Structure 1
Amino acid sequence: MKNLNKALLSLLLTFLITFSSQGQDAEMADVMRSEGKIYVVVAIILLVLAGLILYLFLLDKKVTNLERMINEKRKTK
């Protein structure tokens, strides 16, 4: 669980650094913003990231359960 927290924190810091360094003017972004398409792009990116984070969380729970089962089997032998 600690590794998952560290991974999420590093992911968050990476995004903060990336977004703070995006001070450049981009013509494509202006066009997409004026047409309202930028919100669709942002929504898709957030959905993908939320899916990845959910997948990592569920995977961590499964691994933790497997580790418990292995430890219980070792104790009984």
Structure 2
Amino acid sequence: MRKIIFALALLLNSVQLFAQTDSVEMADTLRSNGKIYVVVVCIVIILLGLLAYLFSLDSRLKKIEKKSSSKN
């Protein structure tokens, strides 16, 4: 049942993507001014920061798990 719901959600998502055939005026303006690269760089910096935070959090959790397993 979960697979059917997941497939239906993917199908509905792809139908929405096909409906967006009009060009986006804001994106065209940013692209023509060269500012789209600033937006992309900001998004990449945010994603890299989130990934770094998650990896540091993962390493801290592994240390805590090692300490708790060695005490038992």
**Identity across matched positions, percent:** 45
| Structure 2 unpaired stretches of 5+ | 1-12
Give the length in aligned residue pairs: 55
Letter aligned with residue 61 of structure 1: S
Bigger Rg over Cα: 2
Paired residue secondary structure (2:23): coil
**Which secondary structure state, in structure 2, belongs to the residue aligned with residue 40 of structure 1?**
helix
TM-score calculated relative to the size of structure 1: 0.65
CA RMSD in angstroms, aligned pairs only:
1.7
Q: Which of residues 25, 28, 32 in structure 2 aligns to 1:27?
A: 25
Shift of 1:35: 0.6
CA distances 1:47-71 after superposition (whole Å, capped 9, x unpaired): 0001001110110000000000001
Per-residue CA deviations over 1:17-52 (Å, capped at 9, x if unaligned) read 9xxx47651010000001111000000000000100
Deviation of the 1:73 alpha carbon? 1.0
The gaps in structure 1 that reach 5 residues or longer are 1-16
Name the CA distance, whole Å, in 2 between partners of 1:42 and 1:34: 14
Name segments (4+ residues, structure 1) moved above 3 Å: 21-24
Greater relative contact order (CA < 8 Å, ≥ 6 in sequence)? 1
The normalised TM-score by structure 2 is: 0.69
